[in-house]
Amino acid sequence: MLNENSRIVTYSPAYTIVPTYECFNRCSYCNFRSEPGKSPWLTLAAAASILQKLPRKNVWEILILSGEVHPHSPKREEWFQRIYDLCQLAFSMGFFPHTNAGTLSFEEMQKLKHVNVSMGLMLEQLTPKLLNTVHRHAPSKLPQLRLQQLEWAGELQIPFTTGLLLGIGETFADCEETLAAISELHQRYHHIQEVILQPHSPGNQQTFDAPPFDPHKLPEIIAQARQILPPEITIQIPPNLVKDDQWLLACIGAGARDLGGIGPKDEVNPDYPHIQEQELREILQPAGWELVPRLPIYPQFDSWLSAKLQTAVTSLRSEFKIQNSRHI
């Protein structure tokens, strides 16, 4: 892990591919989804055309981010196959896939492990009271379903990213409960790479009538998370949702050490453009922080990969002289 005195902050040079925006959940804060049947699915040919234009030296991670097709939908098998094929395509073109496609079955996760270097799912918040508010029409946001996903990831030895959504009706104690659950699962399986602390940021599509998460509370939540989570888990914050430079520096000072995937567009929060690498450097360097790119898998998890994925990861680390510390 990074020494606590290290002045390194990491990010992943990334591009997001969306198989479909359609989703059977209707979370009231969502600015991503479309109604089932209202959004065309991305074809493999269209994805290949996109990937061919990406500069490999500047993009390492392909985030496969999808809306969810209901587990009992006749389209579920086709949806999953599309995600699998997109991961395989991205890897064949020299990129490293990281899939976040909502709740999956054990068998689906097991298959995706072979074409992903890491995967993710936001816990958001575990308190069941949100099932009566923002998650009232979101069947896959049942806390036990999402915890099960993290447990399966541990059983399958999948390097995993999860996180909390802040400002959707939770309390400070609710955050503690969710962080403690993540910590407990990690101590059993040692598989959590990062925990994202994502402040709710209102967008044009949502129906949730609430202000943005209070920016002054984020460093406190980060400090709280740093106390609860094991030190080897990195805390990640999205810098495009942390608009003030001093606020961003305060978050890093409180213990956040990763800025997530930086690409052309934040698909989850499309009203908030990503802050690009050079601008981030201009914020961090005067304060003594060094911004360093990383892969979507941390080196301590390389041995969990198949031989083919592991060879490719090792080769890219060597090609771009990526530092071989635990967090790079």
Q: What is the CATH number of the domain that holds 64?
A: 3.20.20.70
pLDDT averaged over every residue in the chain: 94
Per-residue pLDDT of 282-301, as tens digits, reads 999 999 999 999 999 999 99
Instruction: Name which residue leads in pLDDT, 45 or 323.
Output: 45
- 44-71 mean pLDDT: 96
Q: Which of 139, 149, 137, 132 lies closest to 71 in space, CA to CA?
A: 139
Which residue's structure tokens are 């390389």?
A: 302
Interacting residues of 160 by C-beta distance below 8 A, sequence separation 6+: 118, 119, 120, 121, 150, 153, 154, 191, 192, 193
* Residue 328's pLDDT band (cuts 50, 70, 90): very low
pLDDT digits (tens, 9 = 90+) for 175-221: 999 999 999 999 999 999 999 999 999 999 999 999 999 888 999 99
* Separation CA 195–CA 225 (nearest Å): 9
Write down the pTM of the prediction: 0.95
- pLDDT bracket for residue 325 (50, 70, 90): very low
Does residue 62 sit within a domain?
Answer: yes
Stretch 307-321: mean pLDDT = 91
How high is the pLDDT of residue 323?
53
Question: Cα Rg for the chain, rounded, in angstroms?
Answer: 18
327 occurs within a structural domain: no
Q: Pick from 110, 126, 125, 204: which is nearest to 167 by CA? A: 125
Say which residues have a Cβ less than 8 Å from residue 27's Cβ, sequence separation at least 6.
Answer: 33, 134, 135, 137, 138, 141, 208
Residue 241 pLDDT: 94
Tell me the residue range of the domain where 235 lies: 8-319
Model confidence pLDDT, tens digit, residues 216-247 = 899 999 999 999 999 999 999 999 999 889 99
Q: Is residue 326 in a domain?
A: no
For CA atoms 82, 108, 15, 311, the dihedral sign is: negative
| Residue 39, pLDDT score | 85
Residue 265 has what pLDDT?
94
Please check whether residue 328 lies inside any domain of the structure.
no
Tell me, yes or no, whether 3 lies in a domain: no
Buried b (16+ CB within 10 A) or exposed e, 20-30: bbbbbbebbbb
CA gap 273, 29 in Å, rounded: 18
Instruction: Establish if 2 belongs to a structural domain.
Output: no
Q: How many structural domains does the chain have? A: 1
pLDDT for res 3: 43
Q: At residue 324, does pLDDT exceed 80?
A: no
* CA separation, residue 278 to residues 23, 178, 202 (Å): 35, 34, 26
Given this model, what pLDDT does residue 5 score? 56
Please indicate, yes or no, if residue 273 is contained in any of the structural domains.
yes
Residue type, 229: L
Interval 124-179: pLDDT, tens: 999 999 999 999 999 999 999 999 999 999 999 999 999 999 999 999 999 999 99
Mean pLDDT value of segment 298-326:
86
Residue 325 lies in a domain: no
